[in-house]
Amino acid sequence: MTATTIRRWLHWTLSVPAVAVVLLAATWGRDPGPVLLVIEGVFLIGSVLAAVHHAEVVAHKVGEPYGSLVLAVAVTVIEVALIVTLMLSGKGDTSTLARDTVFSAVMLTMNGIVGLSVLVGARRHHLVVFNAEGTGSALATVVALAGLTLVLPRFTTSEPGPVFSASQLAFAAIASLALYGLFVFTQTVRHRDFFLPTTPDGDVLAEDQHAAPPTMAATMTSLVVLIAALVAVVGLTKIESPAIEAGVAALGFPQSFVGVVIALLVLLPESIAAVKAASRNRLQTSLNLAYGSAMASIGLTIPTIAIASIWIPGPLALGLEPVHMLLFGLSVVIALLTVIPGRAKTLQGWVHLVLLAAFLFLSVRP
């Protein structure tokens, strides 16, 4: 093994996930002390960042818009695993955990990732452009998915409270999978050009030429390490979850804020990748990541949770509270006004970020 190879394997994007997996194996099923919890927390965040890097390597190899799907699916795997693990742990009332996490992901993507990407891109390039047709169809799918799974349960009457009946939940799960599958087909096959970065004149931009595509060996290495990093993130988060819940309670925050914490963690890779794309004047890629993550969070998470609810004790409350429905409605209106022109400036970014701030504040002080 040459010195160059050794240095390559000691790079943090490879070594951090490896150490995280070792820590996971060494502490699984045990009760680590405070110092070890802090160390594992550091490697947990490092594994998330490493996952970003390796997902981007794979995305660069496959190109857009397939690359945007890589991170979306990776994030969904983490999200589903965390929700199911915490719900099965049976600690406290977890009936709304799936709803809180999924809605947090929707708000973080529609306002956080979109707002920050628009702000960064517009500040650097004065005005950012994107394909309104492709982005509009993505937004429409997100709104339909959220309406079917998060708003509708508040108004159904077959079961008391914001809960679907078994048949209603099955319908919502099937409809979610169908909508997500139809969108992926549209994005990757039928109308792929609608989701590629464009010039101000509407011409499709060529793939970035700042770096050559990675070799197949490098791509496969990144794919393997990406999977290892995701395993480490899921496992370490399960170990850290009691500390997270205790920290939320110590701060006096509602238990529902745990869902916000999970969403913030799992969406970190998407956020970093989207902002980097916006800084390179590729806002379309940022929007693909944002709305793709929102769709995957609903279209894949809800069906999986619906199946898992067979074994999860207690009800599965999906219906949003009135204040959250109002925030969602405002977010939809603002998103429409941002998407329709096909271009955006810094003001739109700030408006989305203010809505995100309102959501976070009301999550702490409902």
Q: For residue 8, what pLDDT is reported?
A: 53
pLDDT digits (tens, 9 = 90+) for 177-219: 999 989 888 887 777 777 777 666 555 565 544 456 777 888 8
**Lowest mean per-residue pLDDT among 195-199, 219-223, 285-289:** 195-199
- How far is residue 144 from each of residues 4, 123, 182, measured CA to CA in Å? 51, 32, 13
Nearest Cα neighbor of 339 from 110, 164, 180, 150 is 110
Q: For residue 202, what pLDDT is reported?
A: 55
Tokens in use for 246? 């205790």
Q: For residue 351, what pLDDT is reported?
A: 96
pLDDT digits (tens, 9 = 90+) for 94-117: 788 889 999 999 999 999 999 999
Contact 221, 55 (CB under 8 A): no
154 in the Ramachandran plot: left (φ > 0), alpha (ψ -120 to 50) or beta? alpha
pTM of the entire predicted model: 0.84
Contact 182, 158 (CB under 8 A): no
pLDDT digits (tens, 9 = 90+) for 238-282: 787 777 777 877 888 888 888 898 888 878 877 888 998 899 888
Is 6's pLDDT higher than 50? no
Contact 288, 139 (CB under 8 A): no
Alpha carbons 135 and 133: distance in angstroms, whole number? 6
pLDDT digits (tens, 9 = 90+) for 14-33: 888 889 899 988 888 777 88
Q: For residue 210, what pLDDT is reported?
A: 46
Q: For residue 366, what pLDDT is reported?
A: 83
Q: Which residues of 43-69 are buried (b: 16+ CB within 10 A; e: fewer)?
A: bbbbbbbbbbbbbbbbbbbeebbbbbb
Q: Average pLDDT in the 109-128 region?
A: 92
Q: For residue 90, what pLDDT is reported?
A: 54
Angle at 52 between CA 49 and CA 53, to 5 degrees: 95
pLDDT digits (tens, 9 = 90+) for 265-274: 878 877 888 9
Q: For residue 120, what pLDDT is reported?
A: 94
Q: Average pLDDT in the 121-144 region?
A: 91
Is 231's pLDDT higher than 80? yes
Mean pLDDT, all residues of the chain: 84
- Pick 192 or 286 by higher pLDDT: 286
Contacts 24+ apart (CB under 8 A), 276-279: 277/117, 278/116, 278/117, 278/118, 278/120, 278/121, 278/124, 278/128, 279/120, 279/121, 279/124
